A and B are shown apart, each in its own frame.
Chain A
């Protein structure tokens, strides 16, 4: 494994993923070559890349089309037939007995199901004529940027399993997150920042912290969480006044250096010492990065950072931070949705579909649209692949008029930017929105395509663990060439 252990490692035995060249350096060797000492190192980022940097310098397998990914995780499962997949036939048969609910990937929690038409009107939007419902009016305004995939097929209509599948490519846990793989595969674009940042608010989705973990990949690839509320990052606020901390840091450096010297300049001790300089710097760097007060009033308003409802304000803030982070070179930024009420997951509306889907839309719609607009205005959308996805869709049938159950046999996600064709739809479900019938896509295909856009071959990005060369896509995945521009 790449994990750093106190002993020098036999690098030749380290499994290297194809496309990564070994620098065959010890940490000390690297330090000597970089010959900049602490001055340069003080900039090492939130969760530094040293453990990786000492053994490999990642290079893409081929010319990348995108540099960064922003993943807008619609936790709980947005209803596809109420957002991006209009079904006139569903409206025609509204209230009729639903005759084929027992699809493998369609949950029917209660008996006596009836077809339920969309609660929101659909319209064609923009130049592209893409269909978007009135639930998401702001995203509708940027429809021409979207590549809507209407034919995603999951494995099991359960949140935990689907969340893990979406994040890690396995419905059973203990595999690294997409963000961790990307951080591992490419390293950060900017050595001063972590590869994978999670914009969250202490919300643990189904499937647990595993969704954001590095698992068997080195720990520095796991998500660094930035909260909307309170301390943005754990332990980032200094416990001591500046001068006192400085005094302690000086003491530590003096004392620790003596220990390192006694151990012939131990790599482990030296890098641990260096971490203190980095950490000290992070205490000011991270809050600065998270602080959006320097943004123009127009930008703040565009995202909705001026909203009074705190769920809405926080989500807007996180979207704006996402732009700042990719601007600064963070490879993978994920934003989770807030949970506003007692429920299993934010978008999980077995009941109160109208109330809660609209509430979630009020929280996410404007900031997401603003993010696309802002990225485009700054010329960042070309290099940034935006993924908007929940772990599942919702059943076109229902037992009542105001709730839909879990559905994975055909649902919708969308991509934007990052070299993906804009203003198109790909794949289709049947006339009722039940099953993918055209160009069925699974999560592995989405993962393979994302890696492809970042310049990585999903079959070559591997890590040896537990007797296998593990891949994000396991033994699956194909690049969706037809959606690429």
Chain B
């Protein structure tokens, strides 16, 4: 491996909450002076006198000093920084997070003294300015005297986390979900379902009445946006308005629930929670590995009404539960779930590159998962116990242990191999090609010798010919023993050029061969220890294969690889092993190791070949975004020597546990880290679209450093065993015979890896015919092979999570510093969900058990939090308005009983989101008008009691989608890779490309969310920056929005599109047309004065645009102006 891949870059040890380095203090025992020594220094032996003097010293000198200089940050009355108090004896005895502050009698062992002396650059107190020397002397003297301190013990009960925790467990959101009956109401005619009873009862208690029911058109538009994020079709509105059936409303609700756009709408809501983005931001904005497949998974899941409980399990542990197969795609849906945890900002590299990379990502996941499912801010406890909620710092690290014990790799989605019939065809075609080749080669016996017997050209001098001046005087290094037929030929040729006869040269070579082979055989016997033999079906534990290429890639010596392009039929023959491209370089493959032990360092060599951006990675600390990756550029099998031990432990920190690292060889599509940043290791952007990528492995040997496997040259044994050839010509014939013997064994299917090397050399030197052009039959088989190979379906791959049973508990980071580590915390759950559950496999990461805790019916939060989110999306605000925080800093529920009733009902309904949505939108509460009575507004201006359904501005996506829809530009197809947003400037170094202005009419959730620069039009209308959970969006009102609606090229383009389209309608008058346009936009016909206004605008536009009289209906720009004006109406971006 290239040394830079494993380079050790010690970088700052920055903490998240505490960026200042906190490096452990090394106690110096060497200078220890006992307190007795100090006391012996001319002091009285009278204990009482000493005590009195000490106490006086303390009272007059020490205490005032502590009070003046330290209490500001270290006392119960003010702050308790670092957990240290100095206003009582027990305070410094107990000490802070780093241990006792003083060692009585030993100033040099006392952290407090070290700190005030500024002896350690990372521990300097007071932080702002060093104390005067005389004050430091007082403190030193005090400690020398044994730190006399008569102050009383003042331990506060609140320092005891257990009692604090017990108290905090009483918080409303941590109580089990109760079973409240719907209350009695005075007006039983109003409620349509139990939701309404809860709402009405609280209104009645305040003497308020609900608003009247909204009219049908309003309801149709409201429903359509709420359930699908799109405006209704005018004809659907008319049908609904005219239907007399009492079931008309339910029928409309049901049709919208059944619409495929329901899934798009509700997937997008959830994408705010997991902060969906297609890239990882920071410096290079590299892609989140096929994140869009997770977006599509959400759409399918909401459309199929997969129980939310199941979605919880899948998003945390979809890799660890039985696959949920999608009927349509026939793929494993569950494995797509864990992408939920991988979205957002991720730094490149690993902890050995820059400390804290993994911790940052883990912090982000804990924040997302705890807010998303539990509406609890667990990430607050990264540096200390939560200030307000029942979450200890230990809880944070209990979750962190799960996540740092998880691998974040890429896996295939399919569980069924779709390619078996094609591979069968390829197998037959290969047989045919083999037959043709054998015929060709058989007939080529003589020409092989002739081709070998060509004088080597002189231009191929060895590379060391141009040695620098500095090396001029040194003797040239001994050339290596020739390891190919070609090199042997050259060797003899050069020897003869230097004056030896052929016979002399041969004898010398033969002698050298014997010595060399003997030496190498002995060395290999001594040095090599076979770790993995990939030619076996079963691999030793710790190594795993992935991908269909590898599944079908168990090769015996001599397996053919058909060239997928160019003149040659064969690319090469393979030595026995696992090869991803036995059938096609478009099939994916991966070989992964267990975590390698780094101590003692282990040197090993991998037999391999690979190309087309297949890569070798060393993944350290389960990095999310490794950059220890090297592309494989090895067309012929060779050896790759690696050492597992040269990544550092945490130098300077207290974590001396070894780095966790594993090895991965992988083709592009299965490579979690592909594509990396632009130009990485010579990457060309055209490499991204080339579907091919291949590699294979033969064996892995462990050996001592500097002792890699030596080529044992067995293929030449017979060459030198026979008598010396008489001449070069005869030698050429001898070599040709060597090749032909290998070919013969290949024909008999009895060749070995040495034969493979001979044939491969003969192929690449073009000694053996390998060009189908000369043979029509061969040409036909090869081209059929190539066509058939293209029918293979490449695997679908997504970045996901994996558990290799390599779990390790995380240690508490004192004050959040990555290098000041405390006790390890058992990984698993958080306390208020029952603490770590027993793991089925003790070495596992514990994610599965945590997922079950989260998804449990007994969990007081998960169901409550989700029903509150659904309520929030439908009603514009949650019953708990802080949808991501049910803790002390959040708001309390306006209707706690209703929240519980809904949560319970939701669970009883099988965690069905559709049933919940249906229940809520069919309530009388939801059907209220958006216009509140004066009385209600006066009594409850915030509408906490739901006396009307508030007017709401549409979300960014709905605004854009509505323009596409109304103008007729919408392409309402579902799914697929994201489209680049339209940009005013591109940056190809960061792959910030510009896409079509209107996104080809696709809905907004298919526009690429590049973290580095999210789509501007959507950001303008408060689509959140996808870095943190945003269950509740802002709805700002800024002039930039007005400017966009007036002038943005997208809006103008949509107006133009609509303006062109209406020219083809059958309107006879301007009135007819504006009425239709109005209805399309607002799901209602205009009032007469509204018609008049629009027609007036059309006429004014015609006048200003110089349209001819009578041409009003056919002037496109007039209708573009009308369309543009309609887009700009408030009614267009608000829903009533």
Contact = CB atoms under 8 A, between A and B. Distances in A.
A299 interface: no
A174 B380 contact: no
B395 interface: no
Contacts of A48: 1038-1039
Contact of B1043 (A3, A235, A272): A235
A241 interface: yes
Given A213-B1025, A247-B1100, A155 B992 contact: no
B1042 A256 contact: no
B1108 interface: no
A202 B10 contact: no
A234 B1016 contact: yes
B849 interface: no
A220 B1041 CA distance: 11
B1124 A219 contact: no
Given A207-B282, A239-B1047, 9 more contacts: A7-B877, A47-B1039, A155-B19, A234-B984, A243-B1104, A244-B1104, A248-B1097, A275-B1037, A476-B20
B491 to A, nearest CB: 35
Contacts of A279: 1039-1040, 1042-1043, 1046
A464 B889 CA distance: 9
B1042 A104 contact: no
Contacts of A252: 1125, 1128-1129
Nearest to B354: A156
A215 B1039 contact: no
B1021 to A, nearest CB: 10
24 contacts: A5-B876, A6-B876, A6-B1134, A7-B877, A104-B11, A156-B11, A158-B347, A172-B345, A203-B985, A219-B1038, A234-B984, A238-B1046, A240-B1121, A248-B1046, A251-B1093, A259-B1129, A259-B1134, A268-B1035, A269-B951, A272-B1130, A275-B1042, A276-B1128, A444-B19, A478-B127
B1034 A219 contact: yes
A184 to B, nearest CB: 13
A244 B1101 contact: yes
Contacts of A210: 281, 1025, 1027
A50 B942 contact: no
B998 interface: no
Interface residues of B, number: 103
B1058 to A, nearest CB: 15
Contact of B377 (A8, A201, A467, A474): A467
Contacts of A104: 10-13, 652
Interface in A3-24: 3-10, 13
Contacts of B1090: 255, 258
A46 interface: yes
Contact of A8 (B885, B942, B1027, B1035): B942
B1104 A238 contact: no
A139 to B, nearest CB: 28
Interface residues of A, number: 103
Interface string A440-469: 001010000000000000000000101110
Interface in A91-139: 102, 104-105, 107-108, 111
Contacts of B1096: 251
A444 B876 CA distance: 38
Nearest to B383: A475
Given A13-B891, A47-B1039, A158-B354, A105 B11 contact: yes
A326 interface: no
A247 B1042 CA distance: 16
Q: Enumerate the 4 nearest inter-chain pairs by beta-carbon distance, A residue then B residue, closest first.
A: A202-B985, A3-B1034, A467-B377, A208-B1012
B1039 A44 contact: yes
Interface stretch (B221-229, B821-829, B895-903, B930-938): B930-938
B1043 A236 contact: yes
Contacts of B1134: 6, 259, 268-269
A271 B953 CA distance: 12
Contacts of B885: 466-467
A102 B10 CA distance: 7
Interface of A: 1, 3-10, 13, 44, 46-48, 50-51, 102, 104-105, 107-108, 111, 154-161, 171-174, 201-204, 206-210, 213, 215-216, 218-220, 224, 230-231, 234-241, 243-245, 247-248, 251-252, 254-256, 258-260, 262-264, 266, 268-269, 271-273, 275-276, 278-280, 282-283, 342, 344, 408-409, 442, 444, 464, 466-468, 474-476, 478
Contacts of B364: 172
B1037 A4 contact: yes
A7 B950 contact: yes
B891 A245 contact: no
B719 to A, nearest CB: 43
B1077 to A, nearest CB: 13
A147 B1040 CA distance: 38
Contacts of B1011: 208
A230 to B, nearest CB: 8
Contacts of B1101: 244, 247
B282 A9 contact: no
A203 B953 CA distance: 32
B354 A278 contact: no
A443 to B, nearest CB: 9
Nearest to A243: B1104
A275 B1016 CA distance: 19
> Dominant SS at the B interface?
loop
Contacts of B371: 466
Nearest to A207: B282
Contacts of A266: 951
Contact of A239 (B889, B937, B1052, B1104): B1052
B470 to A, nearest CB: 15
B16 interface: yes
Contacts of A159: 283
Nearest to B389: A467
A368 B258 CA distance: 62
B128 interface: yes
B820 interface: no
B1028 interface: yes
A251 B1097 CA distance: 7
B367 interface: yes
B1131 to A, nearest CB: 6
Contacts of A256: 1129-1131
A154 B363 CA distance: 21
Nearest to A233: B1043
B879 to A, nearest CB: 14
Contacts of B347: 158, 160-161, 172
B1040 A264 contact: no
Interface string B960-975: 0000000000000000
Given A210-B281, A238-B1047, A259-B1131, A344 B1104 contact: no
A174 B19 contact: no
A3 B1042 CA distance: 17
A444 B19 CA distance: 10
A339 B888 CA distance: 48
Interface string B1110-1133: 000000000001001100111101
Interface in B950-1006: 950-953, 984-985, 987, 989-990, 992
B14 interface: yes
A208 B1009 CA distance: 13
Nearest to B1094: A251
Interface string B210-224: 000000000000000
Given A6-B953, A263-B931, A219 B1022 contact: yes
A248 B1125 contact: yes
B18 interface: yes
Contact of B942 (A7, A215, A219, A263): A7
Nearest to B1011: A208
Given A104-B11, A207-B282, A268-B1037, A173 B1027 contact: yes
A6 B11 contact: no
A170 B876 CA distance: 32
A50 B884 CA distance: 26
